[in-house]
Amino acid sequence: MSKPEIAGKQPLIEVVDPGRYYWCACGKSQRQPYCDGSHIGTGITPVEVEFEETKEVYFCMCKHSKDKPFCDGTHNKM
């Protein structure tokens, strides 16, 4: 398994609608924070997350959060 690439050093704040999403865990997606299939061959798989209501979320962009797919402040230590 390879290490994820850092896509950003700040969380991406987004309002999401109800539904199922696939968060990019490898950092290679061109559609951050969502998976576009760029992880193929990396040994890293996207994280599925489902929201039941519209809400504001802080997606991890450094890809090292312990609370994936959400930001836990790990980017401040990088």
Within-domain flag for 72: no
Is pLDDT above 60 for 41? yes
Is pLDDT above 80 for 1? no
Within-domain flag for 5: no
Within-domain flag for 76: no
Within-domain flag for 74: no
Predicted model pTM: 0.93
27-39 residues labelled b (16+ CB within 10 A) or e (exposed): bbbeebbebeebb
- pLDDT averaged over every residue in the chain: 96
How many Å apart are CA 8 and CA 53, to the nearest integer? 26
Share of the chain above pLDDT 90, in %: 95
Within-domain flag for 34: yes
Residue 53 belongs to domain with CATH number: 3.40.5
Domains contained in the chain, number:
1
Q: How confident is the model at residue 62 (pLDDT cuts 50, 70, 90)?
A: very high
Within-domain flag for 32: yes
The boundaries of the domain holding residue 20 are 15-59
